[in-house]
């Protein structure tokens, strides 16, 4: 899968994209990330990319011409069968695992990082989707672009070693994941639940399913409305809530 990132700060990406799972996936060629400096498309010799807002007000606005020239060049060089162009903005559709899965269906994502007070409104006409990574304000779109690359990239086949770990994760099943433990079996008086040491796979599966439901009910009951639940799950929820 190919990611093309348009940014004023290409160096921002060097460490996050060279580490761990994503770094190895790029090395293996499963993921490709190209970085494009918007400043290279400035219209003057000073490399100016921002200007004061019409109508006055605080801060600077990223100009439309360098951004759209950069977008044109990147789109022209992108020969993937399915490409989606994304603007990172706190005003976009909020990213969740469902959207991450949808984005993983594209062969290429072009991600535009804003800066300053934001981007000239007319830029919006040149993107397919606007994405927010949450209800807070970042200084720029680079962290949002990294969140997209990481969350979408890890769904590309071969990027995460054990496919099964993707299946049980929080949100993927519609529920939060069950608690995880590793050695030692006891730490400062806290013991790992006996069932996990029992080697009894069916019991372990049942325990995990129940813990997953319990945790979701405690922390994110809203998720239960759309989760796929068996009759046994529903009975267990009724037991926990004392309803029914």
Would you give the DSSP letter of residue 88?
Answer: E
CA nearest neighbour of 177 among 195, 191, 161, 164? 164
Smallest distance from ligand SAM to CB 73, Å: 19
d(CA 140, CA 136): 12
Q: Which of 108, 118, 196, 207 binds ligand SAM (CB under 6 A)?
A: 118
Nearest residue (CB) to ligand SAM, 28 versus 124? 124
Q: Which residues contact 45 (CB under 8 A, 6 or more apart)?
A: none
Does position 140 interact with ligand SAM (CB under 6 A)? The reply is yes
Does position 103 interact with ligand SAM (CB under 6 A)? The reply is no
Does position 7 interact with ligand SAM (CB under 6 A)? The reply is no
The residue with tokens 């809530």 is 241
Q: Which of 33, 38, 84, 144 binds ligand SAM (CB under 6 A)?
A: 144
Q: Is 184 exposed, middle or buried (0-12, 13-18, 19+ CB in 10 A)?
A: exposed
Does position 66 interact with ligand SAM (CB under 6 A)? The reply is no
Smallest distance from ligand SAM to CB 94, Å: 9
Q: Which of 138, 160, 195, 229 binds ligand SAM (CB under 6 A)?
A: 138
Which SS3 state, helix, strand or coil, does residue 202 take?
helix
Does position 63 interact with ligand SAM (CB under 6 A)? The reply is no
Does position 70 interact with ligand SAM (CB under 6 A)? The reply is no
Smallest distance from ligand SAM to CB 204, Å: 39
How far is CA 79 from each of CA 73, 117, 146, 152, 160, rounded to the nearest angstrom? 12, 32, 22, 20, 26
Residue 190 has phi, psi (to 5 degrees) of -95, 120
d(CA 230, CA 244): 16
Does position 61 interact with ligand SAM (CB under 6 A)? The reply is no
Smallest distance from ligand SAM to CB 38, Å: 12
d(CA 136, CA 32): 29
Does position 133 interact with ligand SAM (CB under 6 A)? The reply is yes
Residue in the shown chain whose Cβ atom is closest to ligand SAM: 114
Residue 14 has phi, psi (to 5 degrees) of -60, -45
Does position 137 interact with ligand SAM (CB under 6 A)? The reply is yes
Does position 132 interact with ligand SAM (CB under 6 A)? The reply is yes
Which residues lie near ligand SAM (CB under 6 A)? 88-91, 113-115, 117-119, 132-134, 136-141, 144
């Amino acid at each position: 899968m190919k990611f093309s990132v348009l940014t004023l700060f290409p160096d921002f990406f060097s460490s996050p994209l060279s580490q761990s799972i994503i770094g190895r996936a790029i090395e293996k060629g499963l993921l490709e990330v190209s970085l494009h400096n918007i400043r290279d498309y400035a219209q003057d010799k000073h490399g100016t990319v921002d200007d004061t807002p019409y109508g006055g007000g605080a801060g600077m606005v990223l100009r439309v011409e360098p951004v759209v020239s950069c977008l044109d060049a990147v789109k022209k060089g992108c020969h993937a069968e399915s490409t989606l162009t994304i603007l990172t903005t706190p005003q976009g559709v909020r990213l969740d695992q469902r959207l991450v899965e949808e984005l993983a269906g594209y062969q290429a994502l072009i991600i535009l990082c804003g800066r300053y007070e934001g981007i000239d409104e007319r830029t919006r006409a040149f993107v397919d989707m606007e994405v927010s990574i949450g209800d807070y304000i970042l200084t720029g779109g680079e962290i949002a672009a990294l969140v997209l690359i990481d969350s979408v990239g890890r769904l590309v086949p071969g990027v995460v070693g054990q496919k099964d770990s993707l299946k049980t994760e929080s949100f993927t099943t519609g529920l939060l994941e069950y608690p995880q433990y590793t050695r030692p079996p006891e730490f400062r008086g806290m013991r790992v639940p006996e069932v996990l040491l029992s080697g009894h796979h069916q019991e372990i599966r049942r325990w995990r399913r129940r813990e997953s439901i319990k945790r979701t009910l405690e922390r994110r009951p809203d998720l239960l409305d759309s989760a796929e639940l068996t009759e046994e799950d529903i009975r267990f929820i009724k037991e926990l809530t004392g309803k029914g």
